[in-house]
Structure formats: structure tokens, C-alpha cells
A = this chain, B = another copy of it.
């Protein structure tokens, strides 16, 4: 069978404990012994059994990352940054799971992470409505720390790291107001969730600064923040001959949906209508018309979440840090003065 610690011990005529100690680089073992052990381990093709190790220590060397949608490069990049940083800097591995924007799935994932005895969990929240996230607290019963990334659930108190969405939305709307637009539609999910209501606050702030009243009927709610729903919502607006100066969305993929609907109805962008997205993922720059958007520093966001998680793993879950990263308005061709 596979070579294990006891095999190395037998081969070297020393005890299992010494081998274990040596393999883990403890300096209480003689330097020569240590080297010898490591060499023979390599020679014999020893591969540590993470399961046994985890069982003995009652926790694994993995942290779990929950993503709502892995087909969106926004989360793909997030996954990349989180796992690279976790591995390079903290020497832990990352295991991913995809919630598909479904609270039930998210719950199952958490149960599974508990079973796997992950050392910590980072959650990228689902972006649609769900009132009860208490299942997340199960993690605490197992002393598993968790932090949020990209947003957070208001009913769960823990560290979070995200872009300052309110500020980003504020800058974008201010810019559109500067261009002379007034009828600015906003396509997003339920205003109950953080990613939406923070953006709405930014929108309102920009309007408020100029004493322009906000018409909340311009906030259009989509069930899911994807291409199809943004496309459908835009068609609806066009067909009902709504008076619009601009449409902004909560992510770039939705902006693509808006573009598609406009193209099909021969609406010229940006001449007749300005369109803007959010996130600055690659295809906002390569779309039919390069899209004005708001850049998020995903790398910074990722590091914030990882750092705070490991901080909590060291000092306990009751930590209420927050990392809020400044966004950057990216102006492209999809927006213009009327």
C-alpha cells in the first residue's frame, strides 16, 4: 500500500514520532536526522495523508470559498486572487463551491464545508433576496471562522471586504448628471440586498447634491443579475416607450443585455441613450460599444477578505473588521452628452 510515516520509521529504524516531527520541520529534532528523514521520505515517494492529519489536528489545511456564479469572470478573477493569495501567503489550499445564487445550495455547501472541517470560509454572497441566512452561524458551532467578500448579509455580523459600491455608483451617476441626463434607469436586484441598496444610496447622493428629486420607479428589479433579465427589462422599457436618458446596471453582463436590446430596436448608443455597467470585467471593454463602467480592485478586495479571515482564525470570530476599497470610474464610448 501507499507509503506512510511508519514505513519511513521502519526503514530508518527510528520512531514514528521522530519522523512526524522531522517532516513538519520542528527544530527539536536533530538537523541531520531531519534531513535524513526528509530525503528518505522523498525517495520512498511519501505523500502525506491530509485526511489523517486533519483528523488528528481536528481541522484541515483548506479554506472554503463560496461563489454565486463561476461562469462570470468577475467571480473567476476573485477565485483566482483568493486562492493564489491564500496559498502563497498563508500556505493553505482553497476549495471552491458554487451556490448558483441559491440559498439552499449555499446552505448545503456550508454543511459540506463543516464535514470537511475546513479551517475557514469566505463567502461571496448571492445577490438576490433571502431573508434568513442563519444557517451560516452553524459554522460557529464548529469553531470555523468566516468572512464575506464583495458584499455581506446584513443579518450576519462578521468581517467583510468589498469595493465601496456607494461611492462607485455616486461617481457614475454624478458623471451622468454632468452630461445632462436626468431620466436615469437603474437595473438591479432587490433593494433589500447590499449590492443593490448601496448603489442606490450612491445614486441618491448624486441626485441629492443637486437637489434633484429621485424617482424610485426608475429602479427596476430583476430577479437575477444576468444578461437575460437585463435584456428583458430593457425591452420592456423600450416597448413601453419610456422616456430615458440613460440605463445603468449593477454589473457589466447586464449592460451587455441592455446593449443587445437596444441594438435590436435600433436605438443608437450613446447618441440616443447612454448605457453603463459595473465591475469592469473584460467584456465591458470589448462589447459592441465599449462600456462605461466602474472598476473594482478585485485583488485588494480578495486580500482583505483573506487577511481578515486568518486574523479571525488566530484571534477568534468576534471581529468586526471591514475593508472598503475605493472604486474607479472608467469612461468609455457607451455614455455621452445627449
Binding site for B on A (CB under 8 A): 2, 45, 47-52, 54-55, 60, 70-73, 75-77, 79-80, 83, 93, 95-98, 100, 111-112, 114-117, 138, 141-142, 227, 253, 256, 259-260, 282-283, 286-290
- Which one of B49, B73, B259 contacts A115 once the chains associate, using CB atoms below 8 Å? B49
Contact B70 A79 (CB under 8 A): yes
Can you name 9 extra interface pairs (CB under 8 A) apart from A70-B80, A72-B76, A83-B98? A50-B112, A50-B116, A70-B76, A71-B73, A72-B73, A83-B97, A283-B287, A286-B288, A288-B290
- Which one of B112, B117, B283 contacts A93 once the chains associate, using CB atoms below 8 Å? B112
- Which one of B71, B93, B111, B253 contacts A80 once the chains associate, using CB atoms below 8 Å? B71
Copies in the complex: 2
Q: Which residue of B lies closest to A54 (CB)?
A: B51
What are 29 A-B residue pairs whose CB atoms fall within 8 Å in the complex?
A45-B141, A47-B138, A49-B55, A50-B116, A51-B52, A52-B55, A55-B55, A70-B76, A70-B79, A71-B77, A71-B80, A71-B282, A72-B73, A73-B73, A73-B76, A79-B96, A83-B97, A93-B97, A93-B112, A95-B96, A96-B96, A256-B282, A256-B283, A260-B286, A282-B283, A283-B283, A283-B287, A286-B288, A287-B288
- Which among A51, A253, A283 has the greatest number of chain B C-beta atoms within 10 A? A51
Complex Cα distance, B288 from A289, in Å, reads 6
Contact A51 B47 (CB under 8 A): no
Write out the residue numbers on chain B whose beta carbons fall within 8 Å of the beta carbon of A282.
71, 227, 253, 256, 283
| Shortest distance from the beta carbon of A131 to any chain B beta carbon, whole Å | 22
Complex Cα distance, B70 from A70, in Å, reads 8
Write out the residue numbers on chain B whose beta carbons fall within 8 Å of the beta carbon of A70.
70, 76, 79-80
Complex Cα distance, B97 from A98, in Å, reads 13
Contact A111 B141 (CB under 8 A): no
Q: Which residue of B lies closest to A283 (CB)?
A: B283
| Shortest distance from the beta carbon of A93 to any chain B beta carbon, whole Å | 6
Contact B98 A51 (CB under 8 A): no
- Which one of B2, B98, B141 contacts A2 once the chains associate, using CB atoms below 8 Å? B141
- With A76-B73, A95-B96, A227-B282 as known contacts, state yes or no: A50 contacts B117, CB within 8 Å: yes
Complex Cα distance, B289 from A290, in Å, reads 12
Q: Which residue of B lies closest to A2 (CB)?
A: B142
Q: Which residue of B lies closest to A59 (CB)?
A: B51
- Which one of B55, B72, B142, B287 contacts A51 once the chains associate, using CB atoms below 8 Å? B55
Contact B288 A49 (CB under 8 A): no
Complex Cα distance, B76 from A47, in Å, reads 30
| Shortest distance from the beta carbon of A162 to any chain B beta carbon, whole Å | 19
Complex Cα distance, B26 from A7, in Å, reads 35
What are the 9 closest A-B residue pairs judged by CB atoms, nearest first?
Answer: A71-B76, A50-B115, A51-B54, A283-B283, A96-B96, A51-B55, A70-B76, A256-B286, A47-B114
- Which among A73, A260, A290 has the greatest number of chain B C-beta atoms within 10 A? A73
